[in-house]
Structure 1
Amino acid sequence: MVNIRNLDPSASPLDYYGSELRRLREEAGLNQSQLGDVVYCTGSLIGQIETAKKVPTRKFSEQLDAALMTGGSFSRMVGLVLKSQLPTWFQPYADMEARAAYISTYQSQLVYGLLQTRAYARAVLSVDNPERADELVEARMDRQRILDREHPPVVCVVLDESTLRRTIGGAEVMRDQLAHLLSFLNHSWVQVQVIPFDSGEHPALLGSFTLLRFDDDPDIFYAESYDSGHMTANSQVIRERSVGYARLQAAALSREGSAALIERVMREQYGHQPGPAMA
């Protein structure tokens, strides 16, 4: 029997999406299997999304819009759905990140979320939330859409060398991730630098942080702990961290030197790993 669980559309963006999908599908005179055939998925998946048991992707939403001729309604809704999958404490930062004109970040442990590959993100997000990995990965990938806007933010990223050498997801995942970082070498709006181990002490030894600048709003400083984030527009904090970030960039390798180090790590650490049968 088809699951016809009633949803409260006001309960969450996901519930609203599911209720709208059911309403418009029924108006079109299609059952779940028939709609699934049109958008190249199973009727079961349609049912899971209609009952808010599965989070839709942006591609799925675009296919729905075309199939049901909604004028882009699902493509607009899915952004809210995916953002709602982010941890509640992280959502205010995600809103600010999406509005920023300039993003300057230092990352001591992991590649910055906007520059992560899908496989790398999955490896990271599966550690604490394996049962929600699909939803969290889609939400992270959706955040990256700001880099593809007509007027994207300027993004300056300084990575500690440890982010290159910590094996996340295995050698193949790391090779692809480092290759992705190299793809930004000549990018107009994204700059990637690495601060090497031999640089010694530097202005960001206390941990990762991000500075957001806006065209018409005060700057924001953001840092996070294990399960919470902290944002402030305190002018003294912004002043100190801005100077610290400038010094950090000066201590880091140049864009070209950083690319050379990334290439060397790829070759030496991830280039020729034996497979399971050869180990």
Structure 2
Amino acid sequence: MAEDVSPTIARRRVRIALREAREAAGYTQSDVAEAMEWSLSKVIRIENGDVSIAPNDLRPLLAYLHVKDRALGAELLALAKTARSRQRTEWYQRPDIRPHLTPAMLRLAEYEAEAIEIRYFQAFHMPGPLQIPAYAEALLSIFSDEDIPADTRHARALARQFRRDTVLSRLGSGLSVYALLDESVLRRTIGVPDVCLQQLGEMRDLATTGKITIRMIPFDFDSAVTNNATFDLLTLKSGKAEERSEVLYRETGLRDEIVEDQTVQRHRERFDKIWNAAATEQDTINFMGSRIKDLEAQIRHRRIP
């Protein structure tokens, strides 16, 4: 029932149902905008999940889309009311953070608070919510003001720590995390060796205590590796019995996006194939231990007068 669904999941179910109904009716988004006397951008924002649709707008839209199933209509109206009950106190709604996050980042933050499983595929650096503050700041400091303005870097570093708090607080109580990392992630020094040492120590502790599961793709890996270098796969419970669905967040050099089409399943299949062929959890933990020893030796050598 709608009352058992979070606002995030409710909004997602409504917009997916509306998009499917529009496509089944053979209408374009422009057709909907013209018939409802809305702007095209409003239709796009509703279907993208950037905004929630008001129940008073939903009723005539369902009629236009030929949704005649009364039970379905009642459910969608209840879900629309739940979706609009979202509190404005979430950290990502803060005025010093929200303007500096992309629409995809905002939706990712919502999904991370609802996910029951998260799978990270990373080829360059640690997954965002698993980064300690010093690592996140060192990583963002690489960018110039022309790339990312200083106030945006500061806001995103802060956002990353809120995301970290959200994910870590849910481990063992409804959330499972699987991190698939290229060996270069564990070798690359972000910032100074001390920062890398702290980050690796944190990751090893999370893995050895069973809070997260980590596997490494070694340099001598002889299986095909996807060229989608970084993505997050989030498994959500829809609210209907044990029904689940997956969404994907990915970044490129120019943009980031949330993906919810058939390509998500292909990414999951690629992830599972590489995961099963990668180094085991224990071998990965042992490798992190050797890297920690190397970094400790570097730091001792640096401090010797």
Partner secondary structure for residue 139 of structure 1: helix
1:156 corresponding residue in structure 2: 178
- Ranked by relative contact order (alpha carbons within 8 Å, sequence separation 6 or more), the top structure is 2
* Secondary structure class of the residue paired with 1:218: strand
Mapped partners of 1:277, 1:188: distance in 2? 36
In structure 2, what is the equivalent of residue 256 of structure 1?
A: 282
Query: How far apart are the structure 2 equivalents of 1:153 and 1:117?
Result: 19
| Structure-2 change in CA distance of 1:87 and 1:179 (3 Å) | same
Percent identity over the alignment is 23
Relative to 1, partners in 2 of residues 1:257 and 1:214: Cα closer, same or farther, differing over 3 Å? same
Counterpart code for 1:243: E
- What is the match of residue 292 of structure 2? 266
> Separation in 1 of the partners of 2:100 and 2:209?
28
Give the paired residue count: 203
Counterpart among 138, 161, 181 of residue 158 in structure 2 = 138
Give the 3-state SS of the residue equivalent to 1:212 in structure 2.
Answer: strand
Q: Is the 8 A contact 1:161 1:194 kept in 2?
A: yes
User: 2: distance between equivalents of 1:213 and 1:181?
Assistant: 22
Asked whether the 8 Å contact 1:202–1:251 carries over to 2, the reply is no
SS at match of 2:162: helix
Q: Distance in 2 between matches of 1:77 and 1:102?
A: 21
Aligned equivalent of 1:115: 130
Q: CA deviation at 1:131?
A: 2.7
Give how far 1:80 is off: 2.2
Which of the numbers 183, 189, 194 marks the counterpart of 1:167? 189
Instruction: Name the TM-score, length of structure 1 as normaliser.
Output: 0.65
CA distance in 2, matches of 1:130, 1:119: 19
Q: What is the rounded CA distance, in whole Å, between the counterparts of 1:130 and 1:260 in structure 2?
A: 39
Maintained 8 Å contact 1:203/1:245: no
Choose the corresponding residue for 1:84, options 87, 98, 101. Answer: 98
CA-to-aligned-CA distance 1:156-186 (integer Å, 9 cap, x gap): 1011110111110111101111001101123
**Separation in 2, partners of 1:247, 1:120:** 29
- The aligned amino acid for 1:238 is V
Whichever structure has more helix as a proportion of its residues is 2
* Structure 1 residue 193: Cα displacement: 1.4
Deviations 1:40-98 (A, max 9, x none): xxxxxxxxxxxxxxxxxxxxxxxxxxxxxxxxxxx946452165154224222222222
Residue 130 to residue 262, structure 1, CA distance change in 2 (3 Å): farther
Contact preservation (8 Å) 2:208, 2:285: no
CA contact (8 A) 1:85 1:139 kept: no
1:1-279 to structure 2, matched below 5 A, reads 76=89, 78-81=91-94, 83-84=97-98, 86-89=100-103, 90-128=105-143, 129=148, 131-132=150-151, 133-146=153-166, 147-149=168-170, 151-216=173-238, 218-235=245-262, 237-273=263-299, 274-275=301-302, 278=305
SS in structure 2 of the partner of residue 209 of structure 1:
strand
Query: Cα–Cα, structure 1 residues 152 and 228, in superposed 2: closer, same or farther, change >3 Å?
Result: farther
* AA aligned opposite 2:110: D
Q: Classify the secondary structure of the residue corresponding to 1:261.
A: helix
Q: Residues of 2 paired with 1:277 and 1:164: CA distance?
A: 25
CA contact (8 A) 2:223 2:277 kept: no
2:80 corresponds to:
none
Q: Deviations over 1:219-247 (max 9, x none)?
A: 11221112421222223x23322221111
**2-structure distance, mates of 1:145, 1:152:** 15
Structure 1 gaps, min length 5: 1-74
